Amino acid sequence: MSTLTAQKNYSVVPGLNMGIFEPRDFAEILGIISKYEVPLTKITGAQRLALLGVDDDQMKSLQAELKPFIRETGKNTVTYVQACPGSQWCRYGKQDALALGKKLEKISFNEPFTAKVKVGISGCRMCCTEPYLRDVGLFGSNRGWTLVFGGNGGSHPRIGDVIAKNLTDDEALDLLQKCLTIYQQESRPTQRSARFMERFGIEELRKRLFEEQE
Ligand code: SF4
C-alpha cells in the first residue's frame, strides 16, 4: 500500500463521462493506477476519476498512459455531462438519461464557450444529478423532459429557470442548443450561465427562444 504524500497535483480522467466504465477499460486503468502507486484515487462529484498526489515527473507519463481513455473536451462542446442510470437501469426512471447524455456529448457548437458548461441529466423528478444546479439541467417525467437553464452550485448558488416541459429527446436537444447559442452570443467573456441569466433574464430568453420564431 502506498503512503499519502504532500503532492497536490490533480488529474482527472474525463473519458469516463457520466461515470460509465467498460470493465476492460476499468481493469486497464486500475493496472496503471497500481503501477504508479497513485496515493489517492477518487470519484469526483462530476462522476469522473481524480488521481491525486502524484509528483510532477510521474504525472506526465501517467497522463500519457491514460490518454487512450481520455475524452478530450473541446471548447466547442459542453464541459461534461452528468447523468443518472435513467429508465434503462433505475426502477424510478421515466426517461433514458444515459442515451440523452451520449447524444449531448457529441454536439459541437459553431463557436467555443468562454466558460464551463456543466450538464446534469436525471431520468425522473427525484433529480439525483441536481439538474437545477447545472448550467443545463434535464429531468424526465412520463410526458418527456423538463429543460432547466442557468443553474449553479458553489459559493454563489442559483436555481436554474425552467425553460420548457414535456419535451421529446430531439426537442430537448434542439432547445438547449438554442439556449446555449443565445448564451454564447450575449454573455460576457468567462461569464457562467447563472450570472448571465441574472442579467439577461428569463423573460428575454423566452422571448428570443419562442416569440421571435413565430
Ligand atoms: S433521478 Fe430518478 S431515475 Fe435517476 S437515479 Fe435518481 S431515482 Fe433513478
pLDDT digits (tens, 9 = 90+) for 119-145: 999 999 999 999 999 999 999 999 999
- Grid cell in block for residue 111: 463557436
Does ligand 1 come within 6 angstroms of the Cβ of 123?
A: yes
Ligand 1 centroid from CA 77, angstroms: 25
| pTM given for the model | 0.91
Nearest CA to ligand 1 atom 3: 93
Question: Domain check: are 116 and 197 in the same one?
Answer: yes
Per-residue pLDDT tens digits for 36-46: 999 999 988 88
- All three cell numbers of 21, joined, read 466504465
CATH number at residue 99: 3.30.413.10
**126 CA → ligand 1 middle, Å:** 6
By most ligand atoms within 8 Å of CB, the mutation choice from 96, 124, 134 for ligand 1 is 124
Do 132 and 63 lie in one domain? The reply is: no
Assess if residue 20 is contained within a domain. yes
Domain assignment of residue 56, given as a range = 10-69
83 lines ligand 1 (CB under 6 A): no
> Which residue is closest in CA terms to ligand 1's atom 5?
84
Does 84 lie in the same domain as 49?
no
Cα of 30 vs centre of ligand 1, distance in Å, is 28
The confidence score (pLDDT) of residue 3 equals: 44
Q: Please return the burial class of 154, using the count of CB atoms within 10 Å of its CB with bins 0-12, 13-18 and 19+.
A: exposed
**Position 20 confidence tier, pLDDT thresholds 50, 70, 90:** confident
